[in-house]
Amino acid sequence: MTDRSKNKQNGNDTREDRLRAALRANLQRRKAQARARAEQVDQEQDKGSETGGDDS
């Protein structure tokens, strides 16, 4: 019975490690997307200010 509980514990640890790694990768991806979106918005705002503003 001890062998089974050790295997289950090791199996849970590896599962938890995989889940942690997946969550970490997901968080990194989401942060990178947010940075890219923020940079894109900044560039669009800079383009608008370069035109001189008044289009009439």
Predicted pLDDT of residue 56? 53
Task: Please report the pLDDT score of residue 1 as a whole number.
Answer: 46
The CA angle 14-30-32, to the nearest 5 degrees, is 115
What whole-number distance in Å separates Cα of residue 49 and Cα of residue 52?
A: 6
Q: Write down the pTM of the prediction.
A: 0.57
Residue 31, φ and ψ in degrees, nearest 5: -65, -40
Residues in the chain, pLDDT under 50: 1
pLDDT score of 50: 63
HSE toward the beta carbon, residue 49, CA cutoff 13 A: 6
Give the burial string for 35-51 (b: 16+ CB within 10 Å, else e): eeeeeeeeeeeeeeeee
pLDDT of residue 10: 78
